[in-house]
Amino acid sequence: MPAKQQAPQLLSVAPMMDWTDIHYRQLARLITKHTFLYTEMVVDSTLIHNPDTDRFLWFPPEQRPLVLQLGGSDPAKLAAAAGIAARYGYDEINLNCGCPSDRVAGAGCFGAALMLRPDVVAGCCAAMRAAVPTRVTVKCRLGADDVDSYEALCNFVAVVSARGGVDHFIIHARKCLLTGLSPHQNRTVPPLRREWVWALKRDFPHLAFSLNGQVEGCHAAARALAAPVPGSEAGLGSHAAAGACIEGVMIGRAAYSAPWSCLADADMAVWGAPANAAASRREVLERYAVYGDSVLGRWGVRQDGSLVPGVRAVAKPLLGLFHGEPGGRRFRVALEHGLRKKPATLSALLQEALRAIPDSVLDAPPRRTQAPPFAACAEDLKGPDGAGPSAREGGPAEIRGPAPPIHAVSARRGLERGKPGLAPDDERGAPGKRPRVAVY
């Protein structure tokens, strides 16, 4: 089926197991109206074999734009799971090709293990696209194990886009090791190579690419969105007009550990909205308490009489709301102390816990950036000679390492010969002069 047209995904919050559940997403949506949210990964067989799909797929409609991330490696199962999810109204379906967890990439043979099998990924995506009218995207790494060259990455993108019909890749700008490193180590040990994401946009200009990897907030994301593709000096600030920059930026754990400081200014700083979604954390908490109280027990009651979800589950996303602020630690302690008393509602819990937070913090507005929204910052981001981005404070930081040499031509010719990404040396792009790339 042809995919529905979708607005550019300028900013998104990454899918994170055990973190980006329905409750966190509701909190995030109260903080930012326009940012794309992702579910936790849902395994295809979970939806196929569990009749209670509401437990995994239902969401309040105000959480849109919302992307469902699926995990699996069987085209038929993924197509069936996507079909089940279609009636819930997700804006996109995303295939997980980046999780290095043993239970996913090892025993499950999906997640980051799929980086080694681009033909399988293409088949999975093609099957889902045939089953639903929803856009299908891929979240992946730069590579896995020793299949970690830029040419191999181009091969992956070329095969999955041409044969799977995928036009948007969210790239976690690190490779991963399928064995020997924990998930945490795979997020920190392999070096970041953000310049590869810009190089992909250079080499596949007809596709969309989003950067994921250690972006700490919406202001850093806005600067990254304004950075030009190598060789495209006109790319500054011309995202909407010419598509010269990357599609978007995906923020990971910073959005969970410090949701207010990370996302509160996103609607204005990234999306160019006239106002942000919330004026203060007091406003956010008043609205979130209404939501939290309304969903208590939605999924039933346990044998011990406790509700599913209970107050603890809906309170969990609030732990980082005052991260780094006066009273923040006391607030977390007060939440835990209050939960031990088994409050009947989230409202009752917050009434006590918020005594730890000064009114000046509770009512403080989002911290604004001095720079204009990314789409309007072309002139501000140019250097003194007017030819490129500035490294001054508030402007893009400049990566000193070179962008990879061009490989798009070899990838396309390889596809034509049935060997994606492979071509004789004389057909590959000559390194030439490698431009610096402004990234964050």
Full DSSP string of 224-255: HHTSPPTT-GGGTT-HHHH--S-SEEEE-THH
Residues 129 and 199: their CA atoms lie apart, in Å, by 27
Kindly tell me the burial class for residue 128, based on how many C-beta atoms sit within 10 Å of its own C-beta (0-12, 13-18, 19 or more).
buried
Is the pLDDT at 369 greater than 60? The verdict is yes
Q: Who wins on pLDDT, 421 or 255? A: 255
Distance CA 79, CA 123 (A): 10
- Alpha helices (H) along 326-389: 328-340, 346-353, 359-362, 378-381
pLDDT for 432 equals 34
- Is it the case that residue 379 has pLDDT exceeding 90? no
Quick check: 172 pLDDT over 80? yes
The answer for residues whose C-beta is within 8 angstroms of residue 278's C-beta and 6 or more apart is 30, 31, 264, 284, 287, 366
Whether residue 374 contacts residue 222, with contact meaning beta carbons closer than 8 Å, is answered with yes
Which amino acid would we find at residue 2?
P
Q: Which has the higher per-residue pLDDT, 257 or 421? A: 257
Question: Can you tell me which residue has the tokens 């990897």?
Answer: 213
- 302, 267, 419, 282: which is closest to 351 by C-alpha? 282
Q: How does the average pLDDT of the chain come out, rounded?
A: 83
- 287 compared with 7, residue with greater pLDDT: 287
Contact 248, 169 (CB under 8 A): no
Give the domains, in start order, of the chain with CATH numbers. Answer: 11-269 (3.20.20.70), 281-362 (no CATH)
Q: What is the pLDDT of residue 402?
A: 63
Average pLDDT of span 13-31: 98
- Residue % of the chain over a pLDDT of 70: 77
Q: Please pick, among 99, 125, 140, 245, the residue that the annotation labels catalytic.
A: 99
Angular region, 169: left φ>0, alpha ψ -120 to 50, beta rest: beta
Average pLDDT value for residue range 400-411? 56
Facing residues of 353 across strands?
none
Whether residue 309 contacts residue 299, with contact meaning beta carbons closer than 8 Å, is answered with yes
Does the structure show a pLDDT above 90 at 276? Answer: yes
Task: Give residues with Cβ within 8 angstroms of 259, minimum separation 6.
Answer: 24, 27, 28, 31, 317, 320, 321
Q: CB count, 10 Å around CB of 322?
A: 24
Mean pLDDT of 126-145: 96
Q: Is the pLDDT confidence value at 256 over 90?
A: yes
Average pLDDT over residues 203-217: 95
Stretch among 145-154, 278-287, 385-394 having the lowest mean pLDDT = 385-394
Clarify whether 99 is annotated catalytic. yes
pLDDT at 408 over 80: no
Residue 200 clears pLDDT 80, i.e. is over it: yes
CA quadruple 372, 376, 378, 384: dihedral positive or negative?
negative
